[in-house]
Structure 1
Amino acid sequence: MNIFKKALFAFGLAGLVFTACNDNDDDDFKLGDKEGTVLVTFGSSYEAPQQTFATMGAAAKAKFPNEEIRWGYTSDLILNILRQGNGENGIQKDNDTPQEAITNMIKEGYSKFTVQSLHVIPGEEYEEMIEKANTVKKEYPDIEISFGKPLLDSDEDLQAVAEVLNAKFATELSAGPVIFMGHGTPHEADGQYTKLETKLKALNTNFFVGTVEGIGFDADETSIGGILNKIPAGTTNITISPLMSIAGDHANNDMAGVTGETDPAEQSWKERLEAAGYIVNIVMKGLGDYAEINAIWMDHLNTAMNK
């Protein structure tokens, strides 16, 4: 029995040594020298946003035809829904996180990366994107990563976006106010929504920007209730549209949903406005559906590439 135990112990040690050798196969790994881009978004399990993502990806490829472009989703919830085939109408996709996308590209010979944010403001999700992408550098310290700014980063961005929206919604403005729904955040970047509204109002006083949460929402400044108090007397028609990269969950439910609720706090924007007597027009388009808006994101990508 003692001989058997010794033999078993020796076999076990051999197995450990063999396993250790396998685990260290990457010791001979050498970084390649290729450059690539990862477009990063929160993600969506809705069907229409998949086409918006395709439009945004096509914009990147058109501006940078020789660039390898991959995608990264920051929402683990969305990733799991899609991987399980539980997206809208059974959508099934095996998307990567930003760090997974970068790691996979490293193994394919890439070492210099531009990670482009497709977020609207430089808030929590943007900072989380940077944090997650930089975790890869702990394992591969010699790689280079630069980050492209989100849509509403600078004052110039705010002005450019305001001018695009003013042109795109000219017809709707001729009928009445246009209210954009932003997401909102407890981060200080929540102030970008108010700054954008200021830029928009300088072009047309019938523009309003609201959010579904965040600092401005909590102060009842960007909530739909707060905006209702600012609608000019005599208004009949109001247009609502998402101020988000895609028309996803918030746009379909919080903005345009039919809840059947009587409590204003539980109603969608559409229901709140209709209950107040307005005729509501919905433009169900994400910002990524507009070529002129995508051009701003692509300018940010170009800036990051050339750092």
Structure 2
Amino acid sequence: MNKSEQKSPTAIVLAAFGTTYPATLEPILAMLHDVEERYPAIPVRLVFTSNIIRRKWHRRAADVNYRREHPAVPDQIYSVGNILGAMADLQNEGYRRILVQPVLIVDGEEYRDLAAYVEALGAVRTHKPQWQPFAKVAVGKPLLGTFGHREQLDALVRALKPDIDAAHAADAALVYMGHGNEHMAQGAYYELEILLRRAYNIPVCIGLVEGLPDFETVREKLAGAGTRKVLLKPLMYVAGDHARNDMAGDEEDSWLTLLENDGYQVTPVLEGLGQNPAVRAIFLNLLEQAAREAAIEL
């Protein structure tokens, strides 16, 4: 490592998908607080990867009545930016070593796009090395790991023990709704379900909003679960729109309605994974792992 890299200041960017529900900002802000508390001398910036969610908060910033009705929403949420803007701002302020930790669940399109942005900026090379915008950049892994790297799944299985205990106390099957996508990375959900079943020996079913395993997969597995009770939870960082509508909404095609129509006694729990401190601790560990692998001292 040359002297300029050794002296180059470091910054951290926390990249969450985001949420439009003020009540579900708490897990994101808790993650931000955890990182700031762990690294008090390092600046930490929060970005949302969703263009739609950022724009909605930007529109709300000019709505005086909305801001008056939601005094708990921090100013930084109304002006939340994207990863490109955050890294450009940090570089302009003199930060040339950037650690980006996604607050994302799976190695899907959202994570791949984020990593592509960060790695592209980190790959910029100038004729004179001292004018390169960044000395080093690194991207941490998502919660369920990346292809070939899912070492933290065992830690997640342990972190989800409170959900298992709640299902066991209710003599219920535990059903998680994840987001998923139709392109890649669905195997991590299957693997997590297998590990949870083996570790705790109770019925656990994971289904996705997009792609497989879907709701019909959950329905098929529940048929052999040996219980007519279901504890229904989101396998998402926040219990946002999908949890409130697709999972636990009143619509005829929500998972809650469909399961109740199948004769199950369903208890929906609108708590995102980010409300579990043990899950947030895994993200902190992933951040530290990314720093070690990139030889960035925190």
Secondary structure class of the residue paired with 1:96 = coil
Report the counterpart of residue 143 of structure 2 in structure 1. Answer: 151
Alignment-derived partner of residue 276 in structure 1: 262
Instruction: Compute the displacement of 1:166 (Å).
Output: 2.6
Q: Does 1:109 find its partner at 2:94?
A: yes
- Name whichever structure is richer in helix by fraction: 1
1:213 has 2:235 as partner:
no
1:100 corresponding residue in structure 2? 85
How far has the Cα of 1:289 moved from its partner? 1.0
Aligned partner of 1:39 among 14, 18, 40:
14
Structure 1 residue 59 and structure 2 residue 45: aligned?
Answer: no
Report matched runs for 1:1-307 at 5 Å. Answer: 33-85=8-60, 93-137=78-122, 138=124, 141-143=132-134, 144-153=136-145, 154-175=149-170, 176-203=172-199, 204-214=201-211, 216=212, 222-231=213-222, 232=224, 234-259=226-251, 261=252, 267-306=253-292, 307=294
Deviation at 1:135, TM superposition (A): 4.4
Alignment size in residue pairs: 264
3-state SS of paired residue (2:139): strand
160-169 vs 249-258, greater mean Cα deviation: 160-169
Code of the aligned partner of 1:227: V
Q: Does the C-alpha gap of structure 1 residues 234 and 302 become closer, same or farther in structure 2, counting only changes over 3 Å?
A: closer
Question: Which has the higher mean CA deviation after the structures are superposed, 150-159 or 135-144?
Answer: 135-144
- Runs (5+) with no aligned partner, structure 1: 1-31, 217-221, 262-266
Point out the structure with max Rg over C-alpha.
Answer: 1
Q: Distance in 2 between matches of 1:179 and 1:202?
A: 15
Structure 2-normalised TM-score? 0.82
Paired with 2:209 and 2:23, the residues of 1 have a C-alpha distance of: 21
Once the two structures are superposed, residues 173-226 of structure 1 have per-residue CA deviations (whole angstroms, 9 ceiling, x without a partner) of 232101011111223311100000000110223111110112x1xxxxx22222
SS of residue matched to 1:43: coil
The corresponding residue for 2:128 is none
Contact preservation (8 Å) 1:178, 1:240: yes
Mapped to 2, the partners of 1:141 and 1:199 lie a distance apart of 44
CA-CA distance at 1:142 after TM superposition: 3.8
Q: Distance in 2 between matches of 1:118 and 1:181?
A: 17
Root-mean-square deviation (CA, aligned residues, Å) is 2.1
Same amino acid, percent of matched pairs: 31
Structure 1: which amino acid aligns with 2:220? N
Letter in 1 for 2:98: F
CA distance in 2 between counterparts of 1:282 and 1:228 reads 16
Give me the TM-score of the superposition, normalised by structure 1.
0.80
